[in-house]
Structure 1
Amino acid sequence: DRVAEADGILQKALRIDPRNPFTLNNMGYTKEKEGELEAAINYYRAAADANSDEPVIVTVNKSWRGRPISKVATANAKKVQSALAKEETIDARVARLNQRGVSALNRNDRAAALKYFTQAYKMNPEDAFALNNMGYVAELNGDRESANFYYGKAKDADNHERHVTLASRAEDEGKKLVEVADKNDNKTEASIQAQQELNRRSGKAPVLVERRTGRPATAAPDDNNPPR
């Protein structure tokens, strides 16, 4: 992922020149894209405090070109501070937690990703992005049954038609969430079936799945009281 790659490159650059206003501003921009708004504000303010009148020449944001870097950084800090102050709704907080989780995955920090995704899921268990992300982490951890459960729920969530803007897989960005969840669901379902077939051939007990929820059954079936 290019944002995660930029983060790593800029961190190295700051170790060499920790007061460079251009690097500080770019780091703020990167943190903003990762959903780390508090960190973004700190980097922008550090760039603004340099009081540099050097103009921005090369930039990903055309509106910055030709303007003094410290003024650009000041404006960026105010913009993010304003966005942070308005972050009052559950949906806004869930969206940022999902964003932070994806960014953590892109940095190969699976533990942090799970923490953010779990917080988002607890805040809104019906959010399609939180559900899909919980499924993805479960899949990474080898829990295909739980992954299948979350992906299935994500496809039916109210906001499943929204588009993915940041993803751990570049090919998923720009797609509707329902398309991504459906692809993931089909993949994990195929993996589950393949594992069940392998267990059958090796004589192991198959994985039991509850018909109502789609989650793994927690108890063995009773021949005198079969499931309905």
Structure 2
Amino acid sequence: MSIDDTERVVRTIAETAIENEKYFGDLDSVVGDGDFGYSLARGFEKLLQGWDDLDRSSPGAFLKRTGMVIASRIGGTSGPLWGTAFLRAGAAAANGADVVAMLRAATEGIKARGQSDVGDKTLLDALVPLTDALSSALAAGKSPDEAIRAAASAAREAAEATIGMVAKRGRAAYTGERSRGSVDAGAMAVAVIAERISETWKQGAAS
């Protein structure tokens, strides 16, 4: 991605997290401590407050700086996980990786930092299908707009599927079987953000 594309995506993520603070918090409060939406919103607010001062020398530098801000400003377990995702994506971008490889790097970072994997009822349950769908669509020759739309659709379907899972990580894991029957807040956040990115990407392409 170009630096302009990178900025647009990151800003969309930030604005979506802030706008959905209550929704994400309500989802988290079902079996968690309910602070996910608040923590995410406060962290991304800090990012936007210092937006003009972020390093724009390259997409990788921009993502790494974003990751540092997020890791230090988002409370709870979300800060280290989301911060690591941006840092790993930035490092991959600095080495010339494409978007799919950047997402794969972010995923591996989250797995290592959270000691979690697909099936544990976390954001990974939406992020991995999103990445797989994006990769498949691009490999099939789809346009960026079509590929992003496919990725967002896959993320939504996967997030909804966490309803049937039992949480194995985070505070929700302490509730055991009671965590079954509700969507994972982190996975749904990934889906909502992906859908918003798809919308803004389409608008940008049309302008």
* TM-score range normalised by the length of the shorter chain: 0.3 to 0.5
Higher RCO (CA-CA < 8 Å; seq separation 6+):
2
Instruction: Decide which structure has the larger Cα Rg and report it.
Output: 1
TM-score, L = length of structure 1: 0.31
Q: Could you say which structure has the higher helix fraction?
A: 2
